[in-house]
Structure 1
């Protein structure tokens, strides 16, 4: 068992270019530090806004110890609240989703408006002021069809991400889409291992036969240093997109917490399908060609995404324990696309359902090896695993600075 200060010590002792020490992937203390310093303080992708299109639609999720409810109000605005009744703490909504004109606690029927105001509390006596017992809000923003939440009292700045993400997402038409399918799996691995695995394709050739039909495992197809620094194939693709006024060039946060760029699929293929052809006949948004590739957007610590001309695939991870992570995937299509007419659900989902399960196996075997006392950090490939280096450098930088401030305050 490591101490509260050991997390910072382990990070400080980490050898640059190497994976993390064992306890940072499996100890309860490091997991709690991750929650308090990152998950409870950063903006987190929660859901696509199209999942709650109508008044009273709601979705729930758990961020560490915090149950959260996200709901669309009568004014059309999406809000988030702590999913805890202000009476005696009952969860307002135990289900993952639902719909209702009000938020009603199932325990004693305290009733809240969709904006969080307490409307009804029976027999509370004289002097009871409902205005003092509204739901506790959680910061919430809708950025071009992707809803983000933040549990911190004062959230970090989001202006730069908001401006870029809304610009890049607009052609994909997320606001005019619907969820065609949703999958949630539990991976028996630390959240950092889940994200590390996503940030490289070093493993793709040996693990993802379906995905590698359309997605290149060549690191030159994903390693970019700026809007004019990438492989010749990508630069040519960006020039083509520029001519069509389709935002595509690489843009990122200074610390690479988030980045986005539109990347072509192999051989002008159209979508992540076994055939390489579009999975949905009714194209999303205003993207002008079927072979426009994938707008890839990731955001640490919680999300990576692929937005294609015919559909979008949004991924969200949430930590459950030191060695368990929830991975939720949502396939979005045009809101008027009809299953059986415009798309076949099996063809739409088969590549990433298989890929997710393959990644689950990889992550779980990775975690099983790290749990061994024989594990010691190994070097990352500077060519194949640059994305993993970005993640780990971001993680170590954020944790070091915040743990140092916490120690100083103590």
Structure 2
């Protein structure tokens, strides 16, 4: 678990140069006067200048989930990521590591790789054939009659990259937050037994949500709206985030069933030596995290109508299908469900102040055979439907934030993780703008 980078891009202090000092003072005041326990003021969801600050202060300075190793399993495999003003190449190296390279040719700025994913040796810009090594070093840039120049001065710019338990993260900062190493040590014992290095992509879904990225993350951090997810409610207890004191009468039976299922799950985890305890440091560390292993309804195996497994192949060295789900939230852009039979990863990539890409990827054991061990439609049905429902919820919130009659509303007790996300965000922004 190492953090590596060479030829880093320069610091981005001038990135938000279009914002006047007067506007920056306004944003500082909004951050300092933020009303605890309430949603943010409308400009945080609608203002393009504030979006630029988000890209600089959050996505330009902190560790971001990029993909899993199942998406780039072999040396030379790559994915490209476009979010905010950035275009990034995530390239698997010969030694099993990952290179994070800005997808901007050093000649005249063209995109070097134009596909979402693929396999490559050297990186060749399609415009004038400037050719770079997998490490980004310029190795070919010739033209008839052209005098020689120092190629070492024109390498592709690099970011930091690391792989932890099969999950790939990147950071574009000159000096990334070092506490992410400690965050990795927290989640590695939970994620490691699923052995993502031995999985493959069964399906990937990309959805554009017409909403600010923070609204997407807020929606994920609570289950107050889970009555709107009928497919998910078959297996995921809709009491997530609730307590004995906050259970509504219509969910009391579900709460009791959940408590019994959780006790049985924890018994199995202790028997198998698997961690299950809740670790919750969403806004008390820079690399904010929440992770636990939680029971599922029905048979307790997977996200299906009856809770039964959706793939016949166990992941890694897991001994039992009845292990519920390992649920992990990471700030600022990801969440994960790791089950015994498959894994679902979610990545949020902001596009503009009111548009966000949500990428969902389903992973199964690399020796699982489609049509024999799993049916891709059944595997993906619950979260495909849930994602579309969430898209609708989030877009309704964006429409409200753009109304002149929008006013901050209070978070309920069950929405404490939303408050934690917003507190993390506001803290990071305050640190950045001073």
**Do the aligned partners of residues 174 and 221 (structure 1) sit closer, same or farther apart at CA in structure 2, a change above 3 Å counting?**
farther
State the TM-score, normalizing by the size of structure 1.
0.92
1:350 is matched with which residue: 381, 385, 395? 381
Shift of 1:195: 0.5
Q: Offset of 1:359 from its aligned partner?
A: 0.2
Displacement, 1:165?
A: 2.5
Match of 1:246 in 2: 274
**Structural RMSD (CA):** 2.0
Superposition map of 1:2-401 within 5 A: 3-123=23-143, 125-157=146-178, 158-205=180-227, 207-220=228-241, 234=262, 237-253=265-281, 255=284, 257-382=288-413, 384-401=414-431
Separation (CA, whole Å) in 1 of partners of 2:32 and 2:408: 14
Larger mean Cα displacement after TM superposition, 147-156 or 260-269: 260-269
Assess if the C-alpha contact under 8 Å between 2:298 and 2:308 holds in 1.
no
- What is the Cα deviation at residue 10 of structure 1? 1.5
Quick one: structure 1 residues 125 and 74, their matched pair in 2 at CA, closer, same or farther if it must change by over 3 Å?
farther
* Structure 1 residue 49 displacement after superposition: 1.0
Aligned to 2:186, what secondary structure does the other structure show? helix
Q: Name the CA distance, whole Å, in 2 between partners of 1:134 and 1:41.
A: 22
Shift of 1:234: 4.1
Contact 1:222/1:263, CA 8 A, preserved across alignment = no
Deviation at 1:267, TM superposition (A): 4.0
Partner of 2:249: none
Q: Which SS does the other structure have where 1:272 is aligned?
A: coil
TM-superposed CA distance for 1:231, in Å, is 6.7
Q: Is the 8 A contact 2:315 2:364 kept in 1?
A: yes
318 and 241 in structure 1: CA distance in 2 versus 1, 3 angstrom threshold? same
C-alpha distance in 1, partners of 2:185/2:417? 23
C-alpha contact (below 8 Å) 1:220/1:231 kept by paired residues:
no
Contact 2:223–2:241 (8 Å) recurs in 1: no
Task: Say if 2:265 and 2:322, in contact at 8 Å, map to a contact too.
Answer: no
Query: Per the alignment, in what secondary structure is the counterpart of residue 108 of structure 1?
Result: coil
- CA distance in 2: counterparts of 1:214 and 1:5, whole angstroms: 48
Question: Do the aligned residues in 1 keep the contact of 2:261 with 2:296 (CA within 8 Å)?
Answer: no
Contact 1:250–1:260 under 8 Å retained in 2: yes
Tell me, what secondary structure is at the counterpart of 1:243?
Answer: helix
* 1:16 Cα deviation from its structure 2 partner: 1.4
Q: Does the CA contact (< 8 Å) of 1:21 and 1:377 recur in 2?
A: yes
Contact 1:208–1:355 (8 Å) recurs in 2: yes
Distance in 1, matches of 2:224 and 2:301, equals: 23
5+ long unaligned stretches in structure 2 = 1-18, 245-257
Q: Secondary structure at the match of 1:139?
A: strand
Distance 2:323 2:204 in 1: 24
Query: Does the residue aligned with 1:219 lie in a helix, a strand or coil?
Result: coil
What residue ranges of structure 1 are gaps of 5+ in the alignment? 224-229, 405-410
